[in-house]
Amino acid sequence: MVESSRTEDSTVEFTVNGAAVAVPVGESLLDALREHLGITSAKDGCSPQGQCGCCTVWVDGQPRVACVTPVGRVAGRSVTTLEGLDGADRWAEAFCAGGGSQCGFCTPGIIMRVAALTAPTDAAVRQALLAHLCRCTGWHPVVNSVLSAPERAPASLEQTGRGVRASLEGGVAQDVGAHVALGRGGFADDTAPPGALVALLDAEGEWVVGESLAQARRLSGKIQGRRTTAPLRSPIELPAGAWMRTLQTTWVEPAYLEPDAAWCEPGGAPASSLGNGGAFGGKTSTEVGDVARRLADEHGRAVRVLFTREDVVRRGPKRPPIAAGVRADGTGVIRVARTPGIARAIASIAPGLVVEEVDVAGPPTTSAARAAGWAEAAVLLASIAVSPLDPEIDPENDMVTAPNGATAWASIDSDGSLHVRVRCGEPLDEAVLRSYCTGAAHMALGWVRSEGLAIGADGTPLDLTIRSFGVLRAIDTPPIDIVIEPDDGEPVNGSDAVFAAVAAAAWRRAGYPPEWPAAR
Ligand code: FES
């Protein structure tokens, strides 16, 4: 341990994982770790908002959010990251075996948080998770992983073979293994070559390039995003008609944790911005890879291209809002924000619904968002207990068959407990499937009850912080029971069917409020 302090040449000295270091004063602890010391387990999900918890490390043994900790404040102190945490391999194995880590972006920060708990009971873990966000897992696999950690042997860093199931569920190749939980999931901003230039967007939406992240931030004039008090609104008028059921929704932010990032060498191919997951469709059209290639060629050097959290909100595509009415016979009209592919998605499950695409002032929308369009149609049809795919639907147990053939059933008890069954071919890996289905169920509950993005009348996103989107917290997530139905058919993605079935069940339990989110 170094005695330290600020030195005359404007550096600050402290220890990281037991080794003495000196870094420039004036930046955040997160930037000191990532940019100057090459420690990448601490992730930047929202800096400097301090809201996602992905950059959590220990300072003198206490969890701290590094992006809002000025590095000068740790002078002479002891910083521990996941790389230096005793028992990190055991934690990683527990998260891997328990499905507590999917894309893995949030996991190192969560492990640092829960490893500091002296009595990790279920309630204590959920309370500790208030400082974190996870979009993938639906929290329960995280809690179960934490509670099972003491029994786990240290992890092997070998690939576990679970990636096939994960790729099915995530829609893109996703790695599964203890190395992912340790923060080594291959995220683009972790793998960029040292010395690469850094590109950020300025207030006018132009890319500015700096020698370092700190310089690029100065050049971009980055201003921290805010949360608005403006209400959520349904931007589309209901179609005229005598409907049995109507539903209006608003824009929904995919809210993935890893902001879009890429890097590229001159003349090379850009690093994939999909990181270790598909971001629920939110990154399929991201510009960062093309920008990295162009800027690398222009500058003749490797360039890192990064979205901040605010950029993700402003430029990333959203789930398109709808306004729909259905009759008791399953016919009706869905009006939806004009979005390539959305009419085909709706027709794939509800050929009796007329689709009207309308122009709406707002952020870009995508039909790649989880089950976009067809889930809305499935929910509407389930609400009238009519399904063109299964007229025997149990009115107390909402059932959805997805376009890929996966089927899910969901019901919610009066105490809020959620019961889900899913049939999607051979399970391959039950821990992975259960985690994905729990995550999908959690996302569906949030969609119906709390999620949305406030958009101004001119179409500008107003909620720019990651806590603005209404993602359900661990302590607000009800018990979720997942039963995997035996099926020896070809494995298919099952979590999207779960997403739609749970949304249908949540709408039913809420008494079919005509607008989502119901708690706006
Ligand atoms: Fe938590 Fe992906 S595993 S955000």
Residue identifier of the C-alpha nearest atom 2 of ligand 1: 103
Residues 60 and 80: their CA atoms lie apart, in Å, by 8
* DSSP summary character for residue 478: P
Residue 389 pLDDT level (bands cut at 50, 70, 90) = very low
Considering the chain, what percentage of its residues have pLDDT values greater than 90? 85
Residues 520 and 462: their CA atoms lie apart, in Å, by 15
- Say how many Å lie between the CA of residue 246 and the centre of ligand 1: 33
Most ligand 1 atoms within 8 A of CB, residue of 96, 103, 280, 469 to mutate: 103
Residue 173 pLDDT level (bands cut at 50, 70, 90) = confident
Contact (Cβ atoms closer than 8 angstroms) between residue 512 and residue 224: no
pLDDT tens digits for 101-160? 999 999 999 999 999 999 999 999 999 999 999 999 999 999 999 999 887 777 665 555
- Say how many Å lie between the CA of residue 256 and the centre of ligand 1: 8
Residue 171 pLDDT level (bands cut at 50, 70, 90) = confident
Query: Whole-model pTM?
Result: 0.94
Q: 385 pairs with which residues across the strands? A: none
- Say how many Å lie between the CA of residue 137 and the centre of ligand 1: 6
pLDDT tens digits for 223-271? 778 888 899 999 999 999 999 999 999 999 999 999 999 999 999 999 9
Pairing of strands 11-16, 78-80: parallel
Structure token pair of residue 371: 């089950």
- Is residue 364 predicted with pLDDT exceeding 50? yes
Most ligand 1 atoms within 8 A of CB, residue of 105, 129, 438 to mutate: 105
Residue 9 confidence (pLDDT): 61
Mean pLDDT of the region 441-456 = 97
**Among the listed ranges 47-61, 125-139, 216-230, 436-450, which one has the minimum average pLDDT value?**
216-230
Residue 90 confidence (pLDDT): 93
Residues 266 and 412: their CA atoms lie apart, in Å, by 54
Residue identifier of the C-alpha nearest atom 1 of ligand 1: 134
In this structure, the residues whose C-beta lies within 6 A of any atom of ligand 1 are 101-107, 134-137, 257
- Say how many Å lie between the CA of residue 427 and the centre of ligand 1: 21
- Say how many Å lie between the CA of residue 133 and the centre of ligand 1: 8
Residue 153 confidence (pLDDT): 75
Contact (Cβ atoms closer than 8 angstroms) between residue 409 and residue 500: no
Contacts of 44 (CB under 8 A, 6+ apart): 30, 34, 54, 55, 67, 189, 259
